[in-house]
Amino acid sequence: MSKQQPRWTQTWMGGVRSAGYDLGYPGERLGLPAEGSGSVTGWGRRLGAILVDWLLCTWAIAGGIFRAQGQDVGWVGLAVFAVVNVLLVGTLGMTLGMRLFGLRVATLDGGRPPFVAVLIRTFLLCLAVPALIWDRDRRGLHDRASNTVVVRL
């Protein structure tokens, strides 16, 4: 007797594992470990890191140092966020928020991303939508376009 194919609703509603398919852990296709240092990070840490970075850039720097007010805080904060990301990810491989949450941006071979990749990644991250579309390895379009992945320290 042959195995019956799952209905499309089984894979959509319950996920592929509930339909009997195992796609492996996030990062397995990239040769990354399942857990610990160098593994693909979860969404909670990433959201926490970007929230810390955004608050620092908008409230502390744009509002505090540059004295931006009202609607200008958003645009000045976004510009500060972009500059901070390019400088810190380009030199250290992580922002302050990423460091607080134990994350770093790495190339697929584990090294620090080149400057052009950091520019591409930052530009797409500032557009927001590319960062909200992910693959099964938890890489947003901004990471895929720059050939990077966010991993644990």
Reported as a single tens digit per residue, the pLDDT across 96-152 is 999 999 999 999 999 999 999 999 999 999 999 888 899 999 999 999 999 999 999
Domain assignment of residue 11, yes or no: no
Label residue 2 by pLDDT band (50, 70, 90): low
Label residue 41 by pLDDT band (50, 70, 90): very high
Domain assignment of residue 54, yes or no: yes
Label residue 60 by pLDDT band (50, 70, 90): confident
Q: What is the mean pLDDT of residues 12-18?
A: 54
Angle at 53 between CA 47 and CA 59, to 5 degrees: 125
Domain assignment of residue 51, yes or no: yes
Share of the chain above pLDDT 70, in %: 86
Domain assignment of residue 69, yes or no: yes
Instruction: Give which of 100, 102, 105, 135 is closest to 122, Cα–Cα.
Output: 105
| Structural domains of the chain, count | 1
For residue 44, give every residue at least 6 positions away whose Cβ sits within 8 Å of its Cβ, in sequence order, or none.
none
Instruction: Return the structure tokens found at 39.
Output: 């593994």
Label residue 33 by pLDDT band (50, 70, 90): very high
